[in-house]
Amino acid sequence: MFTMDLFSGIGRLGVAFSGGVDSSVLLALAVRELGPDRVVAILGVSPSLAADEREGAHAVARFIGVAVAEVNTFEGERDAYRANGPDRCFHCKDELFTRIADEVVTAYRLDAVAYGENADDARRADRPGGRAAAAHRVLRPLADAGLDKAAVRRLAREFGLPCADKPAAPCLASRIPHFEPVSPEKLAQVERAEAALRGLGFGDLRVRHHGDVARIELPPDDLERAVRDPLRSRLRAAVLAAGFRFAALDVAGVQSGAFTLPLVRRG
């Protein structure tokens, strides 16, 4: 069993929690070291969080045995967030950590707040949320311990977490091209389309919002079956029902950082 002193000197810890693999492993490690009564999972709720992701986060927290504190975030009221530049994640995380500081830290008598950045993400140029974490003195125990994505996945399986094999699920705003404004209507379209595709049996996927066009990213194996009827027709109908006029399959497959990485590399 993995052991490491990641939380030395902390009496009560809040974990910024999404139900994804990274934050779930961090939460499980914190509970193992501090005990469930000294750890709180903090879930930010806004239109950028899909309903099934919210439900899944609660399920993982129940499995780990820790309480969830939901905090409403209002990044959509920030002009810089809606403008959707490459630093959008900074404004989102800054809103989250501000709300946590204002509403959760005192209420739960927390000594510190941590989030689940891993060592791989800490090295990526398209993760401006890390600047917000640093500004708010939010801890990043996984990255500081040198735990990369592969190590975090191994721990998730070792702990038997229900999200151990869950695909990465960035927030819904990541589906909108930079400099195209983020709006609740676009986020809802993407959420409806992705939920419908999951209902058709697709797991790892993205629906990128290009106005009337939904650009669908799927793993290679899923691409092959997505173009065969009757699934092809059902996929198209599901996307059109979400409010798009056209459904396009991207043969490049699922692309992490598809909108942000080209911009930060160019800069």
pLDDT digits (tens, 9 = 90+) for 72-114: 999 999 999 999 999 999 999 999 999 999 999 999 999 999 9
Phi, psi of 115 (to 5 degrees): -135, 165
pLDDT digits (tens, 9 = 90+) for 175-197: 999 999 999 999 999 999 999 99
DSSP per-residue letters across 98-113 = HHHHHHTTTTTT-SEE
Give the C-alpha separation, 148 to 157, whole Å: 15
Mean pLDDT of 109-124: 94
pTM above 0.75, yes or no: yes
Catalytic residue among 89, 92, 163, 171: 171
Phi, psi of 123 (to 5 degrees): -90, -10
**Three-state secondary structure call for residue 61:** helix
171 is an active site residue: yes
**Residue 4, pLDDT score:** 61
**CATH, domain 13-158, list 3.40.50.2030, 1.10.240.10, 3.40.605.10, 3.40.50.620:** 3.40.50.620
Confidence band, pLDDT 50/70/90 cuts, at residue 1: very low
Q: Domain map of the chain by residue range?
A: 13-158, 172-263
**Residue 68, pLDDT score:** 98
**Residue 265, pLDDT score:** 56
**Three-state secondary structure call for residue 220:** helix
**CATH, domain 172-263, list 3.30.70, 3.30.420, 1.10.240, 2.60.460:** 3.30.70
pLDDT digits (tens, 9 = 90+) for 138-164: 999 999 999 999 999 999 999 999 999
pLDDT digits (tens, 9 = 90+) for 33-71: 999 999 999 999 999 999 999 999 999 999 999 999 999
